[in-house]
Amino acid sequence: MTLRTLMQAGPAKATELFAKLSETSDGAVKTREKLFSDLKAELELHAGLEEQHLFPILRKNSETKELVADAIRDNKELRAKLSELDAMPKNDPAFAERLADLQKTFRQHARDEKKELLPAVQRALSEEQVQAVTEKMEAGLAEAEQAKQDEAEERRAKARGEREQAEFLARQAELRAQEVATAEREQAAAEQRARTDARRVVDAALRPVAAASKAVGEATRLATAAPAGEAGRRAQTQAAAMTNMFMWPWLGAMQNRQPTGNAAEARGLAGMEEVIPLGEEILEVGKRTENRGTARIRRFVVETPVERQVTLQSEKVVVERRRPVSDKVTGEILTELTVEVVETEEVPTVEKRVRLREEIVVRTERTQRVETVQATLRRDEVEIEQADRKRGNRQLRSVSSER
């Protein structure tokens, strides 16, 4: 690539970006911001390469020194207008007018380079100097392009990482929601079982009461309907015994609150029974799921500098003068002749490709364990104090309730 081609490539790309920007509307803010960012980067890169590699050599030549000063002023003017547009909102109605002004300044700068600066460079510099400047500017362009590609790859990697992180967090939230829902279902089932057991206990307690009420009614009916005389007294006695048998367990608590004499008289009645319930606690072990922590796997990009050695070849034209072996004319002479020989040089090219190095598999594994749960249970015991009928003394016995 020649210096002329190289210096005209930047303005051609900038002209294309100017045309795309001019076609956008005030509502296309994101598109304008992207195109203007590309335009600004292109213009700054073009000006920077000139000021870094070309202008220092041209300052040393008296013929091009003044042209360099004019070019630097043009670059400063371009940068000032770029900064002004960069700070302006992209939906500002005045944006298109300021952009047109910047494009006019840029076109004038490009015409000056093409008509004045480039011909002066060709006249003032040798071919070796022009070639050296061209190679340096090409290297600068390659570095800028590589930096742009690296930045784009970094943005893509960052976006992928954020997307994967969001997916991972969403999965974790879904798992936590499932665990909470499972715990709520288990709790609801336990509450339902407790209510069922409570209803069963109440029903069991009410059945004797209903039976006792029925027995009392039957006893009352017999006592009322019994005839006079000995048969009537027997019927009344049976009714009283039946009433005492069914009503005694529920009257015992009330009788305990009466004076001692009345309680003794009540217990002394024939056919009386008192039921003392003996209870115990039983152990019921359930399960619930708890969150024991979150494992987070984050992928990030690590940059490792590498270097490779490559052997390059170059061909340069060597011109030398020598005396002919004989003065005999062997070809056409005394005519105008132009011979063009192309010099070539190999330059390294760098390409990068992406390959799959390794895979990280993230999954959960479920294991089972047996854990012993210890607790203290309570139960009722009964101690019986009974008088010995033969010897007339009192004995104590301890009776355990059966499970």
The model's pLDDT over 130-170, given as tens digits with 9 standing for 90+, comes to 788 778 877 877 887 788 788 888 888 888 888 888 889 99
What are the helix (H) ranges across 23-126?
29-49, 55-59, 62-87, 95-112, 118-124
9-40 pLDDT, tens digit per residue, is 777 888 888 888 888 888 888 888 888 888 88
* Count, residues in the chain: 403
Element (H, E) at 314: strand 314-315
**Contact (CB, 8 A) for 243 and 219:** yes
* pLDDT (tens digit per residue) in 242-296: 555 555 555 554 444 444 444 444 444 455 688 888 888 888 888 888 888 888 8
Angle at 343 between CA 10 and CA 349, to 5 degrees: 55
The angle at the Cα of 258, spanning 257 to 261, to the nearest 5 degrees, equals: 135
pLDDT at 274: 81
Q: Which residues pair with 396 in a beta bridge?
A: 385
Instruction: Work out the angle between the directed axes of helices 230-256 and 127-225 (0-180°, nearest 10).
Output: 140
pLDDT at 110: 82
For tokens 């979150």, the residue is: 294
